[in-house]
C-alpha cells in the first residue's frame, strides 16, 4: 500500500492511502507530495463510551443501602416475628421482633389490661419487659409466692420459638425462681383439648342392624321402597332419625368404625347365602323386580 503525504507536522504526517483514507502517521522525515510505503500509524486512544452505569450507580448504591437498612436493621428489629404470652392471672401478650424487641403489648383479659396500663415498653427488649411485668404483677398483688407464671411463645420459626421459651424461662427463673413457678405452655385453667361429650345410648338389638352404607339399595329402583306393601321391610329406613317418624334413637353406635364399633361388620351379610339379615328386599323374589333390569340383584346369589 502506498501513501501520499498530504501534510507534515513535527510529530506526524497526514497521509492519504489508496482507498481514500486520511491517516496520521509518524513523520519519518517526509515531505508533502512524497509517496511512502511503510508508515507507522498513529494509535488513537480508545474512544470511551459514555458510561451508562454512572448515573445509575448512585441509584443502585442508594437501593443497596436501603436494602441493607431494611434487611439488616429494620426487619429484624421492627417487624413482628413472634408473640410471647404471659399468663399470671393477668394475661398479656408481647409482640416480639426477631431481635427480641417488644413491638406491641396487649392485655388479653381485664387484669392484663390493668397490668399494662401506663407501662411504657418502648425500646425495651423481651427480657426487660417480662421481668418488669412480673414485678408489676407482684406489686399489684396479682402474683405472690408459689404461684405459677406461664409463658407461651408462638412463632412461625420453631427454632426461634424454642430458644425464646428457653431464654424467657431462664431469665425469669434466675430472678424469681425462688418465689414463683415458671411454666412453659398455657396454664391449666382451660383443658388443652375441648372434649365433646356425646350421650351414648345402648345399641339396638342385633336383629335389625343399621345397614352399612355400601349395601344401600340403589335408589333408582322405584319399587324398592319401604313404604310399599311388598317391600322387604328390612332396609331399616323406617328407623329414620329425621322427620316426623324419628324414633328419637340415633343409631350412631352401630357404626363399624371408631371407638364405638360393635365389632360386627355386616359385610359377611353380602354373600353368606342367608338372606335372613340381609337388608335388601330379596327376601321376596326376583320376579318382584318388574323394572326389567337386573342391576339391583347383583348380590343375590340364588
Partner 1 sequence: MVRTEHDIVSQVQSAKTDSEAADALIRQYMGFIRSETVKFLHTAPENGHEDELSIAMLAFYEAILAYEKSRGAFLPYAARAIKNQLIDHYRTEKHHGNVISLHTPLGGEEDGGELLDTIPDTVDHAGDYVVRTASQREIQEFSEKLAQFGLTFSDVADNCPRQERTFAACRRVLDFARTQPELLKRVEDTGKLPMGELSAGSGTDKKTMERHRKYLVAILLAFTNGYEIIRGHLCQVGPKRGGDEA
- In the complex, the residues that contact partner 1 under the rule CB under 8 A are 2, 4, 6-7, 9-12, 14, 16, 18-29, 31-35, 40, 42-45
126 near 94, Cβ under 8 Å?
yes
> Given the complex with partner 1, which of 19 and 159 has the nearer CB atom?
19
Minimum Å gap between C-beta 13 and partner 1 is: 9
CA distance 23 to 16: 6
The SS3 of residue 55 is helix
> Given the complex with partner 1, which of 13 and 234 has the nearer CB atom?
13
The C-alpha cell at 14 is: 497526514
DSSP 125: B
Closest CA to 103 of 131, 84, 90, 117: 84
Q: What is the DSSP pairing of strand 181-184 with strand 91-97?
A: unpaired
| Helices assigned H by DSSP within the chain | 53-67, 75-78, 110-116, 126-139, 158-176
> Given the complex with partner 1, which of 32 and 63 has the nearer CB atom?
32
Minimum Å gap between C-beta 43 and partner 1 is: 6
> Given the complex with partner 1, which of 23 and 182 has the nearer CB atom?
23
Minimum Å gap between C-beta 47 and partner 1 is: 9
> Given the complex with partner 1, which of 38 and 227 has the nearer CB atom?
38
Minimum Å gap between C-beta 7 and partner 1 is: 4
Minimum Å gap between C-beta 34 and partner 1 is: 7
Amino acid at each position: 500500500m502506498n501513501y501520499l503525504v498530504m501534510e507534515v507536522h513535527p510529530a506526524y504526517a497526514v497521509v492519504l492511502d489508496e482507498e481514500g483514507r486520511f491517516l496520521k502517521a509518524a513523520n519519518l522525515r517526509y515531505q508533502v507530495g512524497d509517496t511512502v510505503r511503510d508508515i507507522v500509524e498513529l494509535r488513537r486512544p480508545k474512544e470511551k463510551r459514555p458510561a451508562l452505569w454512572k448515573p445509575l450507580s448512585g441509584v443502585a448504591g442508594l437501593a443497596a443501602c436501603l436494602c441493607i437498612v431494611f434487611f439488616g436493621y429494620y426487619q429484624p428489629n421492627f417487624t413482628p416475628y413472634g408473640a410471647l404470652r404471659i399468663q399470671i392471672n393477668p394475661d398479656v401478650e408481647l409482640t416480639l421482633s426477631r431481635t427480641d424487641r417488644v413491638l406491641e403489648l396487649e392485655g388479653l383479659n381485664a387484669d392484663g389490661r390493668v397490668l399494662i396500663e401506663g407501662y411504657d415498653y418502648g425500646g425495651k427488649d423481651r427480657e426487660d419487659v417480662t421481668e418488669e411485668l412480673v414485678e408489676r404483677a407482684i406489686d399489684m398483688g396479682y402474683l405472690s409466692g408459689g404461684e405459677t407464671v406461664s409463658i407461651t411463645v408462638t412463632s412461625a420459626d420453631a427454632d426461634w420459638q424454642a430458644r425464646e421459651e428457653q431464654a424467657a424461662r431462664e431469665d425469669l427463673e434466675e430472678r424469681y425462681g425462688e418465689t414463683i413457678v415458671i411454666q412453659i405452655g398455657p396454664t391449666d385453667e382451660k383443658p388443652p383439648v375441648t372434649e365433646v361429650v356425646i350421650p351414648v345410648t345402648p345399641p339396638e338389638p342385633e336383629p335389625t342392624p343399621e345397614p352399612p352404607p355400601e349395601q344401600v339399595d340403589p335408589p333408582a329402583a322405584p319399587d324398592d321402597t319401604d313404604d310399599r306393601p311388598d317391600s322387604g321391610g328390612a332396609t331399616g329406613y323406617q328407623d329414620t332419625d329425621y322427620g316426623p317418624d324419628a324414633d328419637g334413637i340415633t343409631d350412631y353406635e352401630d357404626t363399624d368404625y371408631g371407638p364405638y364399633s360393635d365389632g360386627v361388620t355386616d359385610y359377611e351379610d353380602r354373600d353368606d347365602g342367608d338372606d335372613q339379615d340381609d337388608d335388601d328386599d330379596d327376601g321376596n323374589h326376583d320376579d318382584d323386580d318388574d323394572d326389567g333390569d337386573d342391576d339391583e340383584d347383583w348380590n343375590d346369589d340364588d
